[in-house]
Amino acid sequence: MVEPSTVVREHAAMWARPEINLSELARLRFVEGWSIPRLQAYFGAGRTKIKDELKSLRPAPLKISVYKQPVISNTCSGF
């Protein structure tokens, strides 16, 4: 019986990238007015990573209740 031939290849893990400094990202985007492509080149990150980090800088939207308080009238009826 013959064993099947196998090929073993080693690849470096590419998902371990340095974190983006959020204060620097915010300054460059909102104070300096840098574009997304320029930020991508500067940080060496993809468009999705830059946009996700920018979203994380925004405060969460306020949750507004749809409950309406009943109107209380000052008129006395029936007396």
Provide the mean pLDDT of the chain: 82
Distance CA 50, CA 52 (A): 6
| Structural domains in the chain (count) | 1
Q: What is the pTM of this model?
A: 0.56
Q: Write down the H helix ranges in the chain.
A: 22-26, 36-43, 47-57
Q: Is residue 12, in this structure, part of any structural domain at all? A: no
Q: Does the pLDDT at position 25 exceed 80?
A: yes
| Residue at 44 is within a domain | yes
Whether residue 39 lies inside any domain: the answer is yes
pLDDT at 75 over 60: yes
- pLDDT score of 79: 56
Residue 69: inside a domain = no
Query: Which residue range(s) make up the domain with 27?
Result: 22-57
State yes or no: pLDDT of 2 exceeds 80: no
| Distance in angstroms (rounded) separating the CA atoms of residues 42 and 15 | 18
Residue 8, domain member (yes or no): no
